[in-house]
Structure 1
Amino acid sequence: MNRKDSRRVGAAGAKPGGRRWLLLPTLLALSWGAQAQCAGPMNGEQYSACITQTVILPEQLRAREAAERGNAPAREPGREEIERAQAAAVARNGWGAYAASPGLAQIGRASDLSSRGKAEKAALKDCQDQGGKECAVLVAVDNECAVLAHNGGATHAFGIARRETQAAKQALEQCTRQSPDRLCRLQPLSVCPGQGVSFRGERVDPAVYARELEVAYDPRPLWGAVASDGRNLHFVVNATGRERAGALALADCGGSQCALLASAQKENQCLAAAWVPGAAAAPIVVENRTPGDARINALRQCASATGQVCAASPAQCSQRERAAAEGDGSVRASMRLQDVRAEDLRESLQPWVGMNSLDFTFMWSSPDKLEDGGDLRAKRRTLSYDYSIKASGKHPARPCWVVWDEVDGNLEAYALKGEGCRFLFKR
């Protein structure tokens, strides 16, 4: 390979920018053997870091490879396996409780106490210390996690399970069934006493973590669509039905020149469009589970079809999209085609230098190759992403790989390898 086809960008002087994103809890398919490696005298943050570095990223790759082979995904560990693994962790007192004033105006919580009575008393005091009147105990748990989902003060439900992620899923499902508008939220701080397991690190913002659990376990199917009049793109995401998403996109576009470019084929997907600036051809729309992959795959398909460098819209996602929703829960985004430039995607990669690799995989999916020398606890690994452009008509296939160096769980530097990268990353 010609050396000019491979450039490495390091972290010298770089300040990680933007918001930190968490790994989706749906990826937490843990094996007993790897959990056992993380047993011993460590605090909650150390335990979470050990699990994520020794298990989650390798498990992501295995699941992806299994899906590509058509195999069934890896099974969830059995209850006995989970209990054995958790019994090896540092023992803590096992009782916790929630208390609240009417309408959930004030919510008190307590954890890691030696008896139910002490936990309930502490939760009531926490509620009262916040100014709560007529506080009452809502739930008490013994060596399990309790997660509260609510829709204001009108509807609420608890999920109770050994793992916080499973409890969050239960709480959202139950609250959604009971709520008239099906828009429940998670209380940021859960209760996970004793052997209850939370994967939130101690330095992670509880509100951000709760938000990501909502994205992961929202039981509602949400849909997206995009329409255009040749000058503007009109996205709609988070619609409650596929046909409704298309109708809203066309209504936002308006006029006789409007056409529906695409409706998502699957629920809870991200949509991105790509086109050749100044060309008359309609934009190509791609859907994907993650925003990073949706955007880069739109650029790849556009380059494959045209043989040219394309511009791409920001991805719009039907996953409890983080933008403000309309009254019906949908999210709208409009943009003029001429205002979107053919950008250098290195601008999207550079902020990740120095950031945690698991946060990156949430936004950009699992790597196509993971090299760790066979050592799951290796401090240095290589994560490789295949962004090659497929052959189409008169245009040949063009290889492109983005190769990340990972050190102690953080992305240290990346290299662009292959002639096809010039269509995605300015050289």
Structure 2
Amino acid sequence: MMSARFQFLIRAAFAALALVAGLISPTAHAAEKLYGGIATDGKHSRIFWVLPETDGKAAEAAALAECRKAGGKECKVLSWFSDSCMVYARNSVQDLFPGNSVSPEMAAKKAIRRCTAGSPDGKCRLTTMPLCVGPGYSAADMQAPVKATPADLERLSAKLNQREYWGAIAENEEGGLLYADGYPNENDALSKLLDWEDCKGCRKVLTYTDSCVGLAWPKGAKGRGTNFTALNPDPKTARDESRAACTAKTGSPACVAMVRCSGRPYIDGYAGEGEKPN
């Protein structure tokens, strides 16, 4: 017959085993998971999120409700996520590309990579800072999406975007200048330009990236060798410097000028873009 002390030890051991089993059981583990939900409007112009929730569908429903509450039109769910970070990148035609990872920066990097891979012009930017839910994330991680400014989003997007933006200038056989910009590498910028039908007998003038080029020539001038260029990161300065070079070299008071820029800093436009030579 077992002693009372021995029976007590056995009962204690079984109780401990039951407690451990409960802690590692799938049901207990699932109850610890936290979820976030993300929604957007019909034009993908804004991102709405809610976290933490204890269920994926509940998180989606809450995000959808948040979109409608904020006045979003044609609101729709994008996704739910759990114990990780999720973020979307948006391109110039409002397409959205997701990135998910336990690391905030890796989630952002995935979103930017998918966006640039699926966007010919490569003009991609994060819609928010990474949205994170679950244990292990700092207060800074949790507050980043709320506090981020457009400048903050651009800085991180530019840091993660490995795509380049190259431009090329060529002169045709009649002396006219042609340009192409926004290409992912120098060779593409030049080869695509030289392949244009209008670029008959063209020869390379220059290639450039992360800069602007001013193009100037005396009004009414024809033939090769009558054009002048100037590189400068500031579009107005580049244009003015090319005009000044034209005037200094030709003595003409009627030099006309224009400007083209290529690089990440110019993807939202720049002063003088689309203006005719004047």
TM category (shorter chain) comes to 0.5 to 0.7
Change (3 A) 1:315 1:340: same
Moved more, 180-189 or 240-249: 180-189
Contact 2:239–2:257 (CA under 8 A) maintained in structure 1:
yes
If each structure's helix is expressed as a fraction of its own residues, which one has the higher value?
Answer: 2
Task: Give me the whole-angstrom Cα distance separating, in 2, the residues matched to 1:308 and 1:140.
Answer: 68
Contact 2:88–2:97 (CA under 8 A) maintained in structure 1:
no
Task: Give me the whole-angstrom Cα distance separating, in 2, the residues matched to 1:215 and 1:308.
Answer: 42
Contact 2:83–2:102 (CA under 8 A) maintained in structure 1:
no
Q: Alpha-carbon deviation of 1:237? A: 0.2
* Partner SS, residue 252 of structure 1: coil
* Partner SS, residue 313 of structure 1: strand
* Partner SS, residue 229 of structure 2: strand
Instruction: Please give the residue correspondences for 1:4-403 in structure 2 after superposition, counting only pairs within 5 Å.
Output: 97-100=36-39, 109-110=48-49, 116-117=52-53, 120=59, 122-126=62-66, 136-138=79-81, 147-150=87-90, 155-157=97-99, 170=109, 173-176=112-115, 179=118, 183=122, 185-186=124-125, 188=127, 194=143, 197-200=147-150, 218-229=161-172, 230=174, 232-252=176-196, 254=198, 256-264=200-208, 267-279=209-221, 281-306=225-250, 308-309=252-253, 310-319=255-264, 321-322=267-268, 340-341=277-278
Q: Could you list the runs of 5+ residues in structure 2 that have no partner in the other structure?
A: 1-34, 132-140
Change (3 A) 1:135 1:98: same
Task: Give me the whole-angstrom Cα distance separating, in 2, the residues matched to 1:217 and 1:294.
Answer: 28
Task: Give me the whole-angstrom Cα distance separating, in 2, the residues matched to 1:262 and 1:322.
Answer: 23
Contact 1:234–1:252 (CA under 8 A) maintained in structure 2:
no
Change (3 A) 1:200 1:289: same
Relative to the length of structure 1, the TM-score reads: 0.38
Superposition RMSD in Å: 5.0
Quote the residue 2:22 is aligned against: none
Contact 1:273–1:295 (CA under 8 A) maintained in structure 2:
yes
Task: Give me the whole-angstrom Cα distance separating, in 2, the residues matched to 1:134 and 1:256.
Answer: 51
Contact 2:101–2:107 (CA under 8 A) maintained in structure 1:
yes
Q: Could you list the runs of 5+ residues in structure 1 that have no partner in the other structure?
A: 1-95, 202-208, 324-332, 342-427
Structure with max Cα Rg: 2
Contact 1:108–1:125 (CA under 8 A) maintained in structure 2:
no
Relative to the length of structure 2, the TM-score reads: 0.53
Q: Alpha-carbon deviation of 1:183? A: 3.9
Same amino acid, percent of matched pairs: 16
Contact 2:210–2:261 (CA under 8 A) maintained in structure 1:
no
Change (3 A) 1:193 1:293: farther
Contact 1:223–1:242 (CA under 8 A) maintained in structure 2:
yes
Q: What are the Cα deviations for residues 303-335 of structure 1, in whole angstroms up to 9, with x where unaligned? A: 454455432113243446457xxxxxxxxx999
Q: Alpha-carbon deviation of 1:263? A: 1.9
Task: Give me the whole-angstrom Cα distance separating, in 2, the residues matched to 1:106 and 1:246.
Answer: 34
Task: Give me the whole-angstrom Cα distance separating, in 1, the residues matched to 2:83 and 2:143.
Answer: 13
Task: Give me the whole-angstrom Cα distance separating, in 2, the residues matched to 1:106 and 1:263.
Answer: 35
Q: Alpha-carbon deviation of 1:224? A: 0.7
Q: Alpha-carbon deviation of 1:186? A: 3.3
Q: What are the Cα deviations for residues 153-191 of structure 1, in whole angstroms up to 9, with x where unaligned? A: 7842259999xxx89974654435765868463354556
Between Structure 1 and Structure 2, how many residues are aligned? 216
Change (3 A) 1:285 1:97: farther
Change (3 A) 1:194 1:263: closer
Change (3 A) 1:293 1:168: farther
Q: Alpha-carbon deviation of 1:250? A: 2.5
AA paired with 1:199? T
Structure with the larger RCO, 1 or 2 (CA within 8 Å, 6+ apart): 1
